[in-house]
């Protein structure tokens, strides 16, 4: 089994690589960003991608969606600290084959990866009740979705700054990222909201009370 790890936390990434290799699982690569992860998944074609949910710039859900848009059939497993039912449901609906928690026992993780390699879907034990409700059609827990439900945390952050009238250059300076990265995020925000200009995005954000509503 060859695994690709995508996780922005260096200590966890290195530790997980060592843990898997000690148990006979080959780690094809371990990278820190979603963009690099997408590139490496296409180049390496691993058996499984282990993907963190919460990452700066490009979150795990967006990485997952990009992989699926690229017609990649590689099984993707979310490995996260989040036990929120909405995160579980969004991940599975976006095409994840598994949803596991970072505090699980190492041998349980390896066993879950073996099951996923065989084509099974695996969800953390603590979230099986939520999965059962999803299968039974009780998805009300995921229906509290406003207009921004598909945006990543970074996109939400940029949308707040758009609502304050900040330029791409100023947003880039405030967030410590490049102008080009801001442009990519703005383009993604417009696409996900189904609109055509940053002015429209700012208006929607203000109407929804998003302005200055959250901190980075």
Please report the pLDDT score of residue 146 as a whole number.
62
- Residue span(s) of the chain under CATH 3.40.50.2300 come to 2-141
How large a percentage of the chain has pLDDT more than 70?
Answer: 87
Name the average pLDDT for the chain: 84
Is domain 2-141 annotated with CATH 3.40.50.2300? Answer: yes
Confidence of residue 132 (pLDDT cuts 50, 70, 90): low
**Residue extent(s) of CATH 1.10.10.10 domains in the chain:** 153-207
Burial of 109 (0-12, 13-18, 19+ CB in 10 A): buried
Do the beta carbons of residue 63 and residue 88 sit within 8 Å? Answer: no
Q: What is the pTM of this model?
A: 0.62
- What's the pLDDT score for residue 145? 52
Q: Rounded distance, CA 54 to CA 59, Å?
A: 5
> Does the structure show a pLDDT above 90 at 30?
yes
Q: Phi and psi for 99 in degrees, rounded to 5?
A: -140, 105
pLDDT digits (tens, 9 = 90+) for 42-84: 999 999 999 999 998 889 999 998 888 875 789 999 999 988 8
User: Which CATH architecture is the domain 153-207 placed in?
Assistant: Orthogonal Bundle (1.10)
């Amino acid at each position: 089994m060859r695994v690709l790890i995508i996780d922005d936390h260096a200590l966890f990434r290195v530790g997980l690589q060592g843990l898997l290799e000690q148990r006979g699982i080959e780690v094809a690569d371990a990278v820190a960003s979603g963009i690099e992860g997408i590139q490496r998944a296409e180049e390496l074609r691993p058996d499984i991608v282990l993907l963190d949910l919460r990452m700066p710039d490009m979150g795990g859900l967006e990485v997952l969606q990009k992989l699926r848009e690229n017609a990649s059939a590689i099984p993707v497993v979310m490995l996260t600290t989040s036990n929120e039912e909405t995160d579980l449901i969004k991940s599975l609906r976006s095409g994840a084959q598994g949803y596991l928690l970072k505090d699980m026992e190492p041998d349980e993780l390896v066993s879950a990866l073996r099951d996923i390699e065989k084509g099974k879907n695996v969800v953390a034990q603590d979230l099986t009740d939520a999965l059962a409700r999803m299968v039974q059609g009780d998805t009300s827990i995921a229906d509290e979705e406003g207009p921004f439900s598909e945006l990543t945390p970074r996109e939400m952050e940029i949308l707040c700054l758009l609502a304050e009238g900040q330029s791409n250059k100023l947003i880039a300076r405030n967030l410590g990222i490049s102008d080009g990265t801001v442009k990519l995020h703005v383009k993604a925000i417009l696409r996900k909201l189904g609109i055509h200009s940053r002015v429209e995005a700012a208006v929607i954000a203000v109407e929804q009370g998003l302005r200055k509503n959250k901190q980075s």
